[in-house]
């Protein structure tokens, strides 16, 4: 049975807050090499930090902030957590004041963050592996793209898994076999997109239906807050917009600029499909 452990909706980042589930997703994507950079800071007291912390997190105090802010590249995404998500917002604003482009305060604090991380790690480590040999077509596909034939969820460039690459190329045959092997549909690439987004890029309706039938998150929001429906509307892909709506995509979801799919419609055809959702 294919796993469908999808991240919960991302907290609006206009106030520099992020849900614990999405923070865990960012953290694991960085740990797996999908996101090239991420600085994680624990702003609790030294005793608590010394007892338990997120692996790789650095302890940060108000007195040590200036040194960190001066040496850390401004392009490095910053993730801050505290006890309950209050003090971390203050530190996140301090980083933002120093013109760090991406700064996130984890809602709920350390305990909630740690629990979300453990849950997401468990869902990934528990993913079933293929028990039968891949077909010649899948073997050739994996070799051509340099994927690990022994780990069908392993990523390559830009954080693409074999399922994402097959979706991008519109390879319904490969998608079908990968899903049969039990690959994870919850994986997201370096931009926070899942395989459905890549299927929409290829405009392959069959692959979209395969992924939806497997339980993929139709309303996954990427690191910019965009859903597949927003992308297809902004790209003028009316057929894909219609298909996603048929598959249950929610047109009322806003991105981080508070724009919905109807606001992003690039063609009259897309606008007509979405006009019933207009404010």
User: Catalytic residues, which ones?
Assistant: 82
Rg over CA atoms, the chain: 20
The DSSP annotation for 234-267 comes to: HTT-HHHHHHHHHTT--TT---TTS--HHHH--S
- DSSP 8-state class, residue 231: H
* Alpha carbon of residue 67 to chain centroid: 31
Contacts of 56 by beta carbon, 8 Å cutoff, 6+ apart:
31, 40
Angle formed by the axes of helices 172-180 and 205-213, nearest 10°: 10
Q: Of the candidates 184, 197, 185, 271, which has an alpha carbon nearest to the alpha carbon of residue 227?
A: 197
Enter the tokens of residue 75.
Answer: 């392009």
- Distance CA(86)–CA(105), nearest Å, equals 8
Residue with tokens 């992020």: 18
3-class secondary-structure state, position 222: coil
- Distance CA(5)–CA(239), nearest Å, equals 28
- Distance CA(268)–CA(223), nearest Å, equals 27
Per the DSSP assignment, residues forming a β-bridge with 106 are: 18
- Distance CA(101)–CA(38), nearest Å, equals 12
């Amino acid at each position: 049975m294919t796993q469908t452990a999808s991240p919960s909706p991302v907290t609006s980042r206009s106030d520099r807050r992020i849900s614990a589930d999405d923070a865990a997703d960012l953290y694991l994507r960085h740990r797996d090499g999908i996101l090239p950079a991420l600085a994680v800071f624990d702003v609790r007291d030294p005793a608590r930090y010394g007892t338990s912390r997120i692996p790789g997190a650095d302890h940060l105090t108000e007195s040590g902030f200036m040194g960190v802010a001066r040496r850390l590249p401004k392009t490095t995404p910053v993730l801050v957590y505290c006890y309950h998500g209050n003090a971390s917002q203050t530190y996140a604003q301090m980083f933002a004041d120093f013109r760090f482009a991406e700064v996130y305060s984890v809602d709920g604090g350390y305990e909630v963050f740690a629990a979300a991380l453990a849950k997401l790690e468990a869902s990934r480590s528990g993913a079933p592996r293929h028990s039968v040999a891949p077909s010649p077509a899948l073997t050739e596909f994996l070799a051509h793209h340099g994927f690990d034939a022994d780990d069908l969820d392993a990523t390559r460039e830009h954080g693409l898994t074999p399922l994402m690459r097959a979706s991008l190329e519109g390879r319904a045959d490969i998608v079908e076999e990968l899903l049969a092997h039990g690959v994870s549909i919850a994986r997201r690439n370096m931009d926070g997109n899942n395989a459905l987004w890549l299927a929409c890029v290829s405009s392959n309706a069959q692959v979209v239906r395969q992924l939806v039938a497997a339980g993929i998150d139709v309303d996954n929001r990427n690191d910019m807050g965009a859903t597949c429906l927003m992308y297809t509307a902004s790209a003028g892909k009316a057929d894909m917009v219609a298909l996603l709506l048929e598959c249950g995509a929610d047109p009322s979801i806003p991105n981080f600029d508070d724009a919905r799919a109807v606001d992003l419609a690039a063609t009259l055809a897309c606008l007509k499909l979405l006009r019933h959702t207009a404010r």
